[in-house]
Amino acid sequence: MDDELRPEYDLKSLQVRRFGPGRKAFAKTPDLKETRTESILQTIDQRTHRMSQTFAEVVEEVKQLSPAEKEELQELLKKYLVEERRREIRENAEAALKEFREGKLKSFPDVDELMDYLSHD
């Protein structure tokens, strides 16, 4: 059985959208702001290209792992994602508590009042 990925999934052939001086200009004469923007876009393009290359390299390395190693990596990634989600929930809860303590939140004694408030907002 041939286990190769279809050509559209080949990460080595990924194309990154180009930014910078080759794009269409919005004004005939470039100003300082536009020049700075182009410089920033070129930097983003370079970083994006490097990241996509790095990601493609990681994927290629993972493809070389044994099935057991791939399963272990999958479990580790699941755990990392759970940890990230827990951290995000904690940060959101802390921010909400801070707003509550600062009196920035409005409370409602029942759902009907909340729904009424939301429908008129």
Task: Report yes or no on whether pTM surpasses 0.75.
Answer: no
Where do the structural domains in the chain lie, given as residue ranges? 1-64, 66-121
State the Rg of the chain over Cα: 25
- Roughly how many angstroms between the first and final C-alpha of the chain, as a whole number? 60
Residue 19 predicted with pLDDT over 80:
no
d(CA 19, CA 38): 8
What is the pLDDT, as a whole number, of residue 111?
A: 92
Give the pLDDT confidence of 64-106 residue by residue, as tens digits.
889 998 899 999 999 999 999 999 999 999 998 999 899 888 8
By the 8 A CB rule, do 50 and 43 touch? no
Residue type, 46: Q
